[in-house]
Amino acid sequence: MSRSVLVVGEPRPTGLVPASREAVAAARLAAEGGAVAGVLLGGSPEAVTEFSRGGVTGLWVGSDASYAERRIDRWVPAILAAAKSTESEVIVLASTGFGRELAGALAVAWDAAAATSVTELTPTDEGLFVAMPVLGGRATSKLRLAGPRAVVAIRPNAFGAPAMSGEAAPVESLSAAPPTPTLAGRRVGFEANAASQGPDLSSASIVVAGGRGLRAPENFHLVEELAEALGAAVGASRAVTDAGWKPGTYQVGQTGRSVSPQLYIAVGISGAIQHLVGMMSSRVIVAINSDPGAPIFKIADYGVVGDLFLLLPALTAEVRKARASG
């Protein structure tokens, strides 16, 4: 049964959050041949171009300056106005920190079923069936989103983004909607946490994470150099952040970030369950550790037993050489 689906694009300074383009792939599944429109609020011209060529059949753009503040009470009525114009029955967006907050508010205002961190989506005549990891990735929850409307936030790296089209979809302007009184919460302050350079940890396709096996904070540059060579995000175990080697924003694990990259490289991380539940949904896991009995080898796809102080510089040099010649 075909249905109309609306994809919410989340902008970043140089374009779209990668998971927003992946949301188009999930939306196509949900639509079953129906129209897949996009809505973008407060994005740059580069974001508009990227989104319009990213697989949507049409794009609604809101350029009012208020959208840049990412106020829920501004975004929700604008998105619902686009959903009404496109006669959409499903709204799909990226399950980022902001996306999860937005999904909940949309579901309440739209009287819709909702699911976040979705990794699988199957449309049926009885509604959308979705799956998402729970209990830190140790189990999978499967739900049927019944009813006439649904809001689905997809987990980064769970759906491959469609190929870019050479022809842009039609773009329509979206008038600024008044704030929704029932969603009148407003951010009164913002302070960025210290974070690594490179891709965002939560949505990165490659993550290189370091643990106490690095022995001292001054050795963490070995992890950062490999990450830079791979174009990866940098993560850390709880032992590292508790010791003050890196800020808490680097932490991967049950009390830190949950990640699901295409490739996760664990360097000097023994594999405590607290850490494993935050990264075990990674597609390929590579573990580098001097202890052959380290628990992380039980879930690793590839394991290297050896001295990381010798292995990492050599691996980084080989990656740089391969990228320079490619």
Tens of pLDDT along 279-294? 988 999 999 999 999 9
Q: Which fold has domain 5-183?
A: Rossmann fold (3.40.50)
**CATH topology identical between 5-183 and 206-325:** yes
Maximum Cα interatomic distance, the chain, rounded to a whole number of Å: 61
Q: What pLDDT, on a 0 to 100 scale, did the predictor assign at position 189?
A: 62
- Residue 116's pLDDT is 94
Rounded to the nearest 5 degrees, what angle is found at the Cα of 42, between the Cα atoms of 40 and 46? 75
Give the model confidence (pLDDT) of 172-197 as tens digits. 998 766 776 666 556 666 555 555 56
Contacts of 185 (CB under 8 A, 6+ apart): 72, 73
Quick check: 214 pLDDT over 80? Answer: yes
**Boundaries of every domain in the chain:** 5-183, 206-325
Question: What pLDDT was estimated at residue 185?
Answer: 58
Distance of CA 41 to the CA centre of its chain: 18
**Would you say domain 206-325 falls under CATH 3.40.50.1220?**
yes
pLDDT in tens, 219-265: 999 999 999 999 999 999 999 999 999 999 999 998 888 888 999 99
Tell which wins on pLDDT, 80 or 200.
80
Residue 121 and residue 142: Cα distance in Å, rounded? 10
Q: Do 165 and 55 meet the contact criterion of CB atoms below 8 Å apart?
A: yes
Measured CA distances, 301 to 90, 221, 282, 308 (Å): 37, 25, 10, 18
Its pTM stands at 0.75
Averaged over 15-21, what is the pLDDT? 92
Q: What is the mean pLDDT of the chain?
A: 90
Residue with the larger pLDDT of the pair 125 and 292 = 292
Q: What is the percentage of the chain residues whose pLDDT exceeds 90?
A: 71
Residue 222's pLDDT is 97
Nearest to 214 by CA among 206, 224, 205: 224
- Per residue in 105-116, pLDDT tens? 999 999 999 999
- For 73, other C-beta atoms within 10 Å of its C-beta total 19
